[in-house]
Structure 1
Amino acid sequence: MAPTAPDPVRFDGHPLAIEDVVALARRQRPAQLSADPAFRARIGRGAAFLDRLLATDGVIYGVTTGYGDSCTVTIPPALVAELPHHLYAYHGCGTGRLLTPEETRAVLATRMASLAVGMSGVSTGLLEQFERLLHHDILPLIPAEGSVGASGDLTPLSYVAAVLCGEREVWHGGVRRDTADVFAELRIAPLRLRPKEGLAIMNGTAVMTALACLAWTRADYLGRLATRLTAFNVLASAGNAHHFDEKLFAAKPHPGQQRVAARLREDLASDRPPRNEQRLQDRYSLRCAPHVIGVLEDVLPFLRGLIENELNSANDNPLVDPDDERVLHGGHFYGGHIAFAMDALKNAVANIADLLDRQLALLVDTRFNHGLPSNLSAAEGPRAAINHGLKALQISVSAWTAEALKLTMPASVFSRSTECHNQDKVSMGTIAARDALRVLELTEQVAAAMLIAARQGIALRARADARLALSPPLAAMQADLERRIALVDEDRALDTDLGRLLAAIRDEAWSLYA
């Protein structure tokens, strides 16, 4: 029986979830613009209202005026049609790395979602062009740097606008190519933007929101992985599993913290009585792990609300009400909520890197690891003298952690006055989102190293203690890690192992809790 095709992500003005954007970004589900007549009629009414307003000499910011501080400049009627193309032309000054294909698909999906709300005055033809880009996986080359997060992500989104019109460059089929060549090959007609459409594409929060969707998903998985790693480290260090007692955590009832403690109880099968030789109290990085990971677990639902509200909002300016036929001038391009969400997320995630770094420092040190060999080296006999185990890995983990902690300075407090003091208070949301992704990347590297340490530490503890028993979840994951990573008995480079484990983390290779 042939596999069923995945359900498409429908763009019809109804709310999307973070998971919808991520599924599109990972090419797990296709995009589909709704064919519903009522939806299309709503989009059409906004564009038709703008046409009538233009015909009666209505004054509309960014349509019959210049942009930003140039809003006092009146555009001659004969030049109105050229204005949207000038907007993306002069904003083509992005620098820095290019967004990844996954990030770029998320940007396309996020901008399409906002325009599909039906308050941007765009045509269905514009939305159909977004759908074509996603369908054919034609991905604009978008420089990551150059946005202050209000008026929206102007510079990075100019690269989307230009590609919709057949200009600049794209990734297609894994190759960097001129957009015009790809469009000609696929018989896609370049758009000629209608009045307001350049502004509608660019004057919004699509880049920061797209990155936030991806960051939220990675952080959610990373928190669960850090919990599993903590369980391994408690066992490897012969720690006390009863620091996670249910009655204890009922006395401080943060829900996320309680979930982390419950997961640790399950992993450690800690309903059994403690062995007499167990220590009364472990060090904080083990004992207080639910209190650290629980912060992320508790903040994720709140951050989801901020991100999904932004995702499903009409966040450009001006807005066009197709029902009451009003043009509403405001500041919905402002990315303050995403900026705050990403500043908060990177703080919580960096604390997890720090927690795991401390756990590893205990595990490799014979003063604190309760009978394990130095640096978790599995070498025995005379060869133990020349082998160094995970010594360098622990140094690298400290480096990655330090860099993650350094990036926790909130970007949102660094507003700059730009554009002749028209944009005199800006969100820095895209910078915050990029920082959050970098903190996630560094923390994932820490987690990859900790997977090596978990595989090594459990094997060495089992060698020292024949009574060691793993719960079914830990036994299954340990067996998987042993298939992925050879025991480090003789010194070897670990970069290849780290690379494979990083890929597995980002593919969410392990099923971690319900």
Structure 2
Amino acid sequence: MTQMNSMEIQSDVIEVGEQSLTIAQVAAVANGAKVQLSRSLDYVEKIEKGARFIDSLLEEEGVVYGVTTGYGDSCTVAVDIEHVHELPLHLTRFHGCGLGQYLNDQQARAVMVCRLNSLAIGKSGVSYALLERIAVMLNNQIIPLIPEEGSVGASGDLTPLSYLAGAIIGEREVRYQGNIQLSVDVFDKLGLDHISLRPKEGLALMNGTAVMTGLACLAYERAQYLAKLSSRITAMASLTLQGNSDHFDEILFAAKPHQGQAQIAAWIREDLNHYQHPRNSDRLQDRYSIRCAPHIIGVMQDALPFLRQFIETELNSANDNPIVDAEGEHILHGGHFYGGHIAFAMDSLKTLVANIADLHDRQLALVMDTKFNNGLPPNLSGAKGVRKVINHGFKAVQIGASAWTAEALKHTMPASVFSRSTECHNQDKVSMGTIAARDCLRVLQLTEQVAAAALLSMTQGIQLRIDAEELSFETLTPSLKKTLSQVQYVFEPLIEDRPLESVLRKVVDDIQLGAWEVCK
């Protein structure tokens, strides 16, 4: 996945420093938009004042966690002034133990802009030069290699963020112009000065929630699109099964007025041209995966604004420790690195998304089975005559969708309940927010695969109805005509059995690009 469509993105340059960011703006940067760090004199002075305050405490021999002390359980260990400037370097180095796959460029860029935005609030005691370096890296596509495993979500995303910190000072690898290189070599090629981390800056970079928050922003964008796509697929499933569009009637949904649920019903109703053709089935009641689809997709649609509040509040927070109040000259030791809100949001969202996979899995089961598909051929095979006996249509695709659904459902166990005690019982209650966010992205991937299978299957089903003169293309709504044409551009009707992996992959990619025009 390389980019996603967002209706909210207004600019190719995202301003950072003096205003809040949105999820859509994080997604824009993740997909390649440049950032512009505020350059106003007042803002620069606000940032530098925090760095100078840290310097003044060192001159006065003040005790500041992670500046004049060791880290975590070692906070009782005093660090003498001659070693204070080495301490951030050691922090980045000993956390260089991440494993697993590396975040892709989109994910790493989301992490970078989230960390930049948090530090840019001016409560972390970092220099303006550090903020500039992150912005320069984003704008020049210098992307740190960040392993996805190793964070328990408090004290923030220490291990994965050490790879950003290490890249900034030239000690870690980055992706640049398609190659993996040491960041110091890239900086030298671009004529960029080498920078060292000031006393608080290693801790400020690493002791925060940027990894889980960046991934959460990307997950939110995909889930938001998925709700709309799932409504379109459900309308197509209803047509394929010759369903009863009364199930989506406006009067019906006024009786149970959940706003998101009603929106989903409205999208399905509009796709089915319900008002012009209020009765397209002799059946009073379709099965739940059709009739109750607004109630299933609608739960996610109603939850998204609530989850957005959690994610965007975290995005626009100072979430490291300690917090530096340069104006009031306070150092405030706390636990803002704790990722509980993101953990809850991602544990919740992955369950909502997995229910969408389960919904489409059930719809697929209906349209494949001659006991339930109202006269369509087995497995939606388009084969005719004597060729029917050796052709199996979408049989294996439905099995695959069932496997993807089962795996998605398996991942819904909440990560946040698996808190561990780590680091000599200093970190004795942790959020697991980053694992929850990674789980959510995996569930989204699997659900998008199920959606791709459903999109192809329902396109085949509608075409079979048209070929049998049980449905006319001309009577379809413009929105459904558009989707059918888009799908059929990459997918020829399945007559003789053929491998479908390549087209499934193409449709999944298009879903993740937001290519299907489903926004009403």
Q: CA offset at residue 455 of structure 1?
A: 1.4
* Deviating more after overlay: 421-430 vs 187-196: 187-196
Q: CA offset at residue 272 of structure 1?
A: 3.4
Give the distance between the partners of 2:471 and 2:150, measured in 1 at CA: 58
Q: What is the aligned counterpart of 2:22 among 4, 17, 20?
A: 17
Give the distance between the partners of 2:485 and 2:152, measured in 1 at CA: 47
For the pair 1:67 / 2:71, whether they are aligned, the reply is yes
Give the distance between the partners of 1:256 and 1:6, measured in 2 at CA: 28
Give the distance between the partners of 2:471 and 2:313, measured in 1 at CA: 52
Aligned residues of 1:249 and 1:258 also touching (Cα < 8 A): yes
**Structure 2 length-normalised TM:** 0.97
For the pair 1:283 / 2:287, whether they are aligned, the reply is yes
Q: What is the aligned counterpart of 1:495 among 501, 505, 508?
A: 501
Give the distance between the partners of 1:14 and 1:326, measured in 2 at CA: 24
Aligned residues of 2:421 and 2:427 also touching (Cα < 8 A): yes
Aligned to 1:471: 477
Aligned to 2:275: 271
Give the distance between the partners of 1:337 and 1:489, measured in 2 at CA: 50
Aligned residues of 1:13 and 1:118 also touching (Cα < 8 A): no
For the pair 1:421 / 2:425, whether they are aligned, the reply is yes
Give the distance between the partners of 1:384 and 1:69, measured in 2 at CA: 70
Aligned residues of 1:13 and 1:113 also touching (Cα < 8 A): no
Q: What is the aligned counterpart of 2:340 among 288, 313, 336?
A: 336
Give the distance between the partners of 2:12 and 2:214, measured in 1 at CA: 21
Aligned to 2:62: 58
Amino acid at match of 1:9: I
Give the distance between the partners of 1:82 and 1:13, measured in 2 at CA: 32
For the pair 1:127 / 2:162, whether they are aligned, the reply is no
Aligned residues of 2:242 and 2:280 also touching (Cα < 8 A): no
For the pair 1:8 / 2:20, whether they are aligned, the reply is no
Amino acid at match of 2:444: L
Partner secondary structure for residue 509 of structure 1: coil
- What's the CA shift string for 1:7-58, capped at 9, x where partnerless? 411111320000110000001x211111111111100110111111110010
Q: CA offset at residue 276 of structure 1?
A: 7.3
Aligned to 1:199: 203
Provide the aligned length of Structure 1 versus Structure 2. Answer: 509
Amino acid at match of 2:328: D
Aligned to 2:394: 390
State, as a whole percentage, how many aligned pairs show the same letter: 59
Partner secondary structure for residue 200 of structure 1: helix
- Superposed, which structure 2 residues align to 1:42-191 within 5 Å? 42-191=46-195
For the pair 1:214 / 2:199, whether they are aligned, the reply is no
Amino acid at match of 1:511: E
Q: CA offset at residue 464 of structure 1?
A: 2.4
Q: What is the aligned counterpart of 1:223 among 207, 224, 227?
A: 227
**Structure 1 length-normalised TM:** 0.98
Give the distance between the partners of 1:90 and 1:7, measured in 2 at CA: 37
Partner secondary structure for residue 501 of structure 1: helix
Aligned to 2:368: 364
Give the distance between the partners of 1:440 and 1:284, measured in 2 at CA: 23
Q: CA offset at residue 191 of structure 1?
A: 1.7
- Superposed, which structure 2 residues align to 1:406-445 within 5 Å? 406-445=410-449
Aligned residues of 2:245 and 2:280 also touching (Cα < 8 A): no
Unaligned runs of 5+ in 2: 1-9
Aligned residues of 1:92 and 1:158 also touching (Cα < 8 A): yes
- What's the CA shift string for 1:60-107, capped at 9, x where partnerless? 000000000000000011000000000010000000000000000001
Give the distance between the partners of 1:325 and 1:147, measured in 2 at CA: 32
Aligned residues of 1:113 and 1:311 also touching (Cα < 8 A): yes
Partner secondary structure for residue 15 of structure 1: coil
